[in-house]
Amino acid sequence: MLGSLFVLILPLGIFFAITATVVLRYPDSDALHVAAFLVALILASAAQLLVFEWKIVPNVIALERFRELLADQERGARLLVRRDLELTRANDQLRKLDETKSSFISVVAHQLRTPLSGIKWTLNLLINGDMGTLTAEQRTFLIKAYESNDRMISLVNDMLGADRIESGKVRYFFQSVPLSEVIDEVLFELLPQAKARGVSITFASKPTHPTKVHADPTKLRAVFQNLLENSVKYSQEGGSIEVSLVPRGTEEVEVSIKDDGIGIPKEQQKNIFDRFFRATNAVKLETDGSGLGLFIVKSIVERHGGMIWFESEENRGVTFHFTLPLEREPRAKEKAAA
Ligand code: ADP
């Protein structure tokens, strides 16, 4: 708007200013009037050319706008620096809070572990009749107390495990581990629990030759314990669980654990590996649970260089799959050197 006014006013102004000055100064000279008229016309046209054709005014306006933008940007940059400082400070505070929370969990969990182990030991003595004969009813109650205490111990262990993962304090001791043996051992330990729930477990597909993986045996056991306990826990009476082991090329082996239990609702599947997450159907069926098991499992599998995933449909079961790196065969040269 200002630009177009300027385009009109400037040449006209020049024209009138020159002609009016000459006419007023020399009112009697026609020749001078004509000359002034011509000069004014030329200068006004030149001004018009400058302004209009060579876009001096629009450029001046654009320059002004550019300056404003620069100033805006500078203000924005200063604001960003301030926000960055605030975020860094908030981040530091959060880190400190997180460290405090971690050490709190760690202290509480360690403090709880000792008395819980003491209770377990005492209950064991009582149940075995080492401190006198019990009636059937007394024994049943003591067994219930023993089981509750065991659940508390595993919750405390899960809390400590998850916290160690978060703070990066977990140490791994890798070695060659015969995979089928680990699975057989965990299955054997789990048999009473499965039997009590009327669930059958089969280790159907396994390779004919021993499959050795490069793994930390204790952590690997925890993976199978967690996944298989979940399959038993979230199966209905009469359900069945299948474990299979299939080598994938020469580098890795894929383990699958399939059950036909309650499954995981579609809309909650994305959260299943999150800390403390429990699906609504699981909470309804089994009130005990920490939501830490799968978080720990995923971290262990990934630390071994493997991947974990699952497929599921609610009320039709879940199949968890994960891969582990196979123990590397020593190459001919290495064999010769050894
Ligand atoms: P928890 O079993 O203690 O709740 P997990 O971390 O082991 O914790 O499992 C997280 C959630 O994943 C469970 O609460 C449940 O909702 C779901 N889930 C895991 N395994 C199964 C399964 N085999 N069948 C159905 N849901 C499962």
pLDDT given for residue 5 in this prediction: 63
pLDDT given for residue 30 in this prediction: 84
| Sign, Cα dihedral of 45, 50, 55, 57 | negative
Are the CB atoms for 300 and 223 separated by under 8 Å? yes
Ligand 1 centroid – CA 206 distance (Å): 25
Distance of CA 299 to CAs 175, 195, 227, 323, Å? 18, 30, 13, 13
What is the pLDDT confidence band of residue 194, given thresholds at 50, 70 and 90? Answer: very high
In ligand 1, which atom is closest to the CA atom of 231? 23
- Average per-residue pLDDT in the chain? 88
pTM recorded for the entire structure:
0.69
What is the pLDDT confidence band of residue 190, given thresholds at 50, 70 and 90? Answer: very high
Site to probe by mutation for ligand 1, drawn from 234, 258, 314, 318 as the one with most ligand atoms within 8 Å of Cβ, is 234
Give the closest residue (by CA) to ligand 1 atom 21: 230
At the topology level, CATH places domain 175-325 in Heat Shock Protein 90 (3.30.565)
Distance of CA 210 to CAs 179, 187, 216, 326, 332, Å? 8, 17, 17, 11, 20
Give the closest residue (by CA) to ligand 1 atom 2: 289
The pLDDT tens digits of the residues spanning 94-115 come to: 989 888 887 888 788 888 888 9
Neighbour-count burial of 37, counting CB atoms closer than 10 A to its CB (0-12 exposed, 13-18 middle, 19+ buried): middle
Ligand 1 centroid – CA 266 distance (Å): 14
pLDDT given for residue 1 in this prediction: 53
pLDDT given for residue 263 in this prediction: 97
263 lines ligand 1 (CB under 6 A): yes
What is the pLDDT confidence band of residue 52, given thresholds at 50, 70 and 90? Answer: low
Give which of 289, 294, 302 is closest to 271, Cα–Cα.
294
226 lines ligand 1 (CB under 6 A): yes
297 lines ligand 1 (CB under 6 A): no
In ligand 1, which atom is closest to the CA atom of 294? 6
What is the pLDDT confidence band of residue 25, given thresholds at 50, 70 and 90? Answer: confident
What percent of the chain is modeled with pLDDT above 70? 92
Query: E strands of the chain, at which residues?
Result: 175-178, 200-205, 212-215, 240-248, 252-259, 308-313, 317-325
Among 100-104, 147-151, 177-181, 240-244, whose mean pLDDT is lowest? Answer: 100-104
The pLDDT tens digits of the residues spanning 247-296 come to: 888 889 999 999 999 999 999 999 999 988 999 999 998 878 889 999 99
282 lines ligand 1 (CB under 6 A): yes
| For residues 149-173, average pLDDT | 87
